[in-house]
Amino acid sequence: MRMIFLIFAIAYYSPTFAQWGSIASPVSGLIFDVKFINDSVGFCAGNDGVLKTTDYGNTWNLINFSPSGSNLFFINETIGYLTSRNNNELYKSIDSGNTWQLNYNFSNETPEGVFFTSTNTGYVITSIYGPPGGSFIYKTTNGGINWTQTNSFPSIPTLQAITFTNSNTGFIVGYSGQIIKTNNAGTNWIVSQIPNTETLISVYFPDQMTGFAVGYSNISGSDVIKTIDSGNSWQNISSGGTFNSALRGVYFPTVNTGYAVGENGRIITTNDAGNTWITSNSGVLDDLYSTFFISNNGFAVGTAGKILKTTTNVSSNAFIDNLKKLKLYPNPTSNQLKIESKLDIKEITIIDLTGKSIKTKTTDLNIINVAQLPSGIYFIEVV
């Protein structure tokens, strides 16, 4: 008999956003990117090299002989890639970021972003600054041993960021509000133009249907765009910014809760799936380029070696109290799952044993249809 077993996992995000504090940095150059591979181990990439933390981002150390870098991507806790704008090169680490070796040189093309959909399959976007100009997409199917230029866009001066929501569906954002989408693992890419938007700099999808991109705007304040149909259409959203006040990084810990960072220490946050945004006090005036959240810790990085951290802690007693306010039945089930709660639930996600999000709901949260799921054990994440 087909049966579904479910286990509760509560994800708590406070609606009152915490203040940001500066963390001591061992560098003074610009930091472009921040990523974590687990709760305690994370990396920053910038003009002075790669920084690493092993204590939840409380202290950072510069990795000796590490290259300057602009964009990080880790396939798992062991294998990572790093693009370098300064050297037009791609680097690879196979020892959890402790050492980095040259993987590929793009000659006169500047690598802007890297993303892998599996251990073997990955993509790098590049651009040529100055004549003849243009942007390009490279792909590997053997873990970076070989890279092949698969697509070129002579009329697009720069591509800025790349992401995939599954092995086939990917998005690239760039110059003049252009978004490039593939539905077949990069074989073909379709270019779309977003009205009233200049260069888009960062893109993030918290699930396969919902995505956000940020950058510059032609109209005051609307430097965020959102899709709820996997990029088939996009909506301009006012974020309260000023004319040409760029947002450079965006990250959503959940579909509802998101953060974007940008020029002059600007940090904005949302608690309603990006429909409205409020300003969070960063405490700095430095330009911020990237943000990343893991568990209860959030980070933002930028110019002058700036590293910011915010923490939203939930006590173990509060966690237990919240767990007691939730009831899930029948468990196991083969058809419908019912949830009774005394909490204000915003979102429920079903996650399989590999950590993949199978289904997310933000409405009608008391009943979940699981009839289409294969037999097995699943986690229920409640926000």
Give percent above pLDDT 90 in the chain.
65
241 touches 266 (CB < 8 A): yes
Asked whether residue 15 carries a pLDDT value surpassing 50, the answer given is no
Domain extents in the chain: 18-311, 315-382
**CATH 2.60.40: does it fit domain 315-382?**
yes
> Do β-strands 42-46 and 49-53 pair in parallel, antiparallel, or remain unpaired?
antiparallel
Asked whether residue 152 carries a pLDDT value surpassing 70, the answer given is yes
**pLDDT, tens digit (0-9, with 9 covering 90-100), for 318-328:** 455 555 667 77
Q: Which CATH class is domain 18-311?
A: mainly beta
Widest CA span in the chain: 65
Mean pLDDT of 267-276: 93
pLDDT of amino acid 379? 75
Highest mean pLDDT among 207-221, 235-249, 273-287, 343-357: 273-287
pTM exceeds 0.85? no
Burial class (CB in 10 A: 0-12, 13-18, 19+), 142: exposed
pLDDT band at 375, cuts 50/70/90? confident
Q: For residue 379, what are the β-bridge partners? A: 7, 351
**pLDDT, tens digit (0-9, with 9 covering 90-100), for 126-140:** 999 888 889 999 999
**pLDDT, tens digit (0-9, with 9 covering 90-100), for 38-55:** 999 999 999 999 999 999
Which of 14-18, 166-170, 203-207 shows the lowest per-residue confidence on average (mean pLDDT)?
A: 14-18
Asked whether residue 216 carries a pLDDT value surpassing 70, the answer given is yes
Q: How far is CA 83 from CA 5, 80, 105, 251, 351, in A?
A: 42, 10, 10, 20, 31
Which of 47-56, 129-138, 167-176, 348-357 shows the lowest per-residue confidence on average (mean pLDDT)?
A: 348-357
364 touches 347 (CB < 8 A): no
User: Sign of the C-alpha dihedral, residues 281, 287, 289, 294?
Assistant: negative
pLDDT of amino acid 377? 76
What average pLDDT does the structure give for the chain? 88
Q: How far apart are CA 367 and CA 40, in angstroms?
A: 35
Instruction: Return the higher-pLDDT residue of 292 and 16.
Output: 292
Asked whether residue 184 carries a pLDDT value surpassing 90, the answer given is yes
pLDDT of amino acid 242? 66
pLDDT of amino acid 14? 44
Instruction: Return the higher-pLDDT residue of 16 and 144.
Output: 144
Nearest in space to 309 (alpha carbons), one of 261, 275, 353, 366: 261
pLDDT of amino acid 16? 45
